[in-house]
Structure 1
Amino acid sequence: MRRPAMDTRTPTDGALADLRLRQLTSATLPVGAFAYSQGLETAVELGWVGDLPQAAAWIGGQLQHSLARVEVPLLARLMAAFSAEDRDAAMHWSGLLLAMRDTAELRAQERALASAWAVLLGDLDLDDARTWVDLPQRTALALFALAATRFRIAPPTAAQACLWAWLEAQVSAAVRAVPLGHTAAQRLLYELAQDIPAVVASGLAVADADIGAAAPALAIASCRHETQYSRLFRS
């Protein structure tokens, strides 16, 4: 029996929008995000990250200095483009994000997650998501922005949720790679989550010309991960 289609183009009340947001950031989403460490595995291999304080510095540093100046401002612009039904603008901002992924491995991760997001959202009756499956400019952030826009989630709220999902994925990777105990992982989430509101506020204030960040340690770790002998993660 075919399930009833979700009416995603009518206004969503606050309670339902909150539930939709929880679904978008759930660790159970079948997009494969658990398979990527974004350089953390190599940082552990190289001795850069070996305990809780070092994991906090690695993850927190990216949150403060990279996501605040790339993901947050680009998410806001992507949501504005989708809200205006401006496909060209959405592809432009998504392509810019892809260009800011410094290594082949990080670009491959972005495209793989984006394709998985596009298929999933298409199965959830967001039909315009399917058109992104094979786009060269596709990114996971663009598909998240599309879903958040269709579900009538405000950009600041969507940005906070996006950062939380990223943080949770990084801490999960740290549990397996460092390794960290589960209580230590919860302490790490508890501490770093406090930074998210300020990161979102600063990111939403970034001008077009100021979008971008330098993360040389991440780029080096990602490059070396491509040829790392033994690894659990795809990045």
Structure 2
Amino acid sequence: MNTSPLEDASLLRLMQLVSPTLPIGAYSYSQGLEAAVEAGWVSNEQTAESWIDSILAYGLVGADLPVLARLHGAWSSDNIGAVEYWNDFLYALRETAELRSEDMHLGRALAKTLVGLDMEVAAFWQNRKPITFAGVFALAAVCWGINVRQALLGYAWTWAENQVAAAIKLVPLGQSMGQRLLTSLIGVIPERIDEALSLPDESLGRSLPGYSLVSMAHEHQYSRMFRS
């Protein structure tokens, strides 16, 4: 079945947006995984899969993904008040200094990249405080004609890929193990997206105390490869 030029363009733009070559520095963050490995919570392929899927299920599904959907809708309707509300809501869910710093860095880096690609509407977000990666990601998705479900799939994929890449270095795992992890995550991500899209506003939030603890521990970890 043939696709339209607009569908082709939006798919290619999504691939550009989630590409590891995008110059925002996402590869330098482990989101607490490094401290989880140090603590012995993650030590092999099975525990890495459990760790990553648990954060996806109890973190991204309740927070990043449904908020990203709301941000996409707000940008689509040019409702800047709603954009700012959901951006600030998501930032408030970042429990540790490292997670807040990561969101600010990635959001600003993506905004700067988009301005360099002639998306002038992103310029304001380079200096706004607070800023979230999801807020700018949603802006890029709307400007590039990426629909909300595809945007959520791309966001979840790039997060999962970064987590697996970090696990390969930290546990360590082989490349084949990393590909098995990604294959397993591909099998569950669509279901997680469905769940995230079904949540009402009053159900949004996170429930990951262990994740917060290792993120705080990472701030003081003696030797580390990653910034979070």
Measured against the shorter chain, the TM-score band is over 0.9
Superposition pairs for residues 122-133 of structure 1, below 5 Å? 122-133=115-126
Residue 3 of structure 1 is matched in structure 2 by: none
**Which residue of structure 2 lines up, in the alignment, with residue 92 of structure 1?**
85
Which residue of structure 1 aligns with residue 226 of structure 2? 233
Aligned match for 1:54, one of 31, 34, 47: 47
Q: CA deviation at 1:12?
A: 7.2
* Residue number in structure 1 paired with 2:204: 211
TM-score normalised by structure 1 residue count: 0.94
Partner of 2:153: 160
Runs of 4+ in 1 over 6 A off after TM superposition: none
Match of 1:192 among 166, 174, 185: 185
Which secondary structure does the structure 2 equivalent of 1:13 belong to? Answer: helix
Q: Of 167, 174, 177, which aligns to 2:170? A: 177
Distance in 1 of aligned mates of 2:225 and 2:199: 35
Deviation at 1:216, TM superposition (A): 0.5
Matched residue, 2:127: 134
In the alignment, is the contact (CA less than 8 A) between 1:78 and 1:89 conserved in 2?
yes
1:22 maps to 15
**Kept after mapping to 2: 8 A contact 1:12/1:151:** no
Partner of 1:44 in structure 2?
37
Does 2:110 correspond to 1:110? Answer: no
Gaps of 5+ in 2: none
Aligned-partner Cα distance in 1 for 2:150–2:5: 14
User: Aligned letter for 1:177?
Assistant: L
Deviation per residue, 1:70-103 (Å, 9 max, x gap): 1111011001111111112101101111100110
Q: Structure 1 residue 69: deviation in Å?
A: 1.0
Please give the per-residue CA displacement for 1:133-184, whole angstroms capped at 9, x wherever unaligned: 1111211111100000111111011101110010000000001111110000
How many residues align? The count is 225
1:77 partnered with 2:67: no
**Contact 1:91–1:137 (Cα < 8 Å) also in 2:** no
Unaligned runs of 5+ in 1: 1-10
Letter in 2 for 1:118: A
1:117-145 deviations in Å (ceiling 9; x for gaps): 01000101111111001111211111100
Q: CA RMSD in A?
A: 1.1
The AA in structure 2 aligned to 1:156 is R
Q: Which has a greater percent of helix?
A: 2
